[in-house]
Amino acid sequence: MHIRNTIYKLQILFSLIILGIFSLFYTTYKNSYETDLDTYIQKEIEFNKNRIIDSLKIVSTKYEDKRNSFLNIHNYSLKSLKESPSLTLKELKKDIQSRYNLSDIEIELYLIDKNYIIYETTFPKDLGFDLSVITEAKDFLDKTKIDEKIYLADNISEDAIDGKYKLYSYSKLKNETYLELGFIDTKLFNSISNDLNIHKNLSLYRVNTNDKYQYYYKMEKRDKNISKT
């Protein structure tokens, strides 16, 4: 009986030792996995940041080459609206596209009141938008209010509504009314937008695969469990 109890205790002790070894192995593996996963995700984030930065550089370079043309177009638009007060922005846009043969450039026009509110535009989604919340836009509108010069934005902007990269110009049309033009290089946008949007908006990154599943990890949030799809 004593021998049986001893063997029983040894079995329990051996089981506890095995359990401890497996627990240590699991903890070590889990910590190593999470470290590797964090490293992987960080590399993915850096990779996608670089892709976005590279795309922005391409856009900036393309727009920089056309700055003089954009200023000429704005000057023509301003002159046309002053000479023909009944001219609509839609008519003016059509005239600009034809006159300047802008096959790869899309023009958007905006009329802005003294409170920086867009009250007429060829881009209806921006109607009623308060430009005072855009620091650069407000600064240029304040400048042109004083000296009546045409100002072209220093940097391209990514529109929050349609995601397109635009360069804006500003001028005073008449008392308490301002003109803004947005320039979109459609050829350039179409050539990089798909790639850029994939990398900018991608929320799931593939971590591993086997015969049945692909395992993904959500970049924005650290989930306890890896989701399977």
User: Tokens 């946008």 map to which residue?
Assistant: 189
**Helix/strand/coil percentages in the chain, nearest 5:** 55, 20, 25
* 78 in Cβ contact with 156 (< 8 Å): no
| pLDDT of 159 above 70 | yes
Q: Determine the Cα–Cα distance for residues 229 and 226; give it in Å rounded to an integer.
A: 10
pLDDT, one tens digit per residue, over 1-41 is: 566 666 666 676 677 777 777 777 777 777 777 777 777 77
Structure tokens at 7: 């063997």
Break the chain into its structural domains and give their ranges.
1-229
**Between 124 and 158, whose confidence is greater?**
124
Task: Give the domain 1-229 fold.
Answer: Beta-Lactamase (3.30.450)
- pTM for the structure as a whole: 0.62
**Between 211 and 27, whose confidence is greater?**
27
Structure tokens at 175: 């008392």
**Between 45 and 141, whose confidence is greater?**
141
pLDDT of residue 7: 63
* 136 in Cβ contact with 170 (< 8 Å): no
Q: How far is CA 159 from the centre of its chain?
A: 8
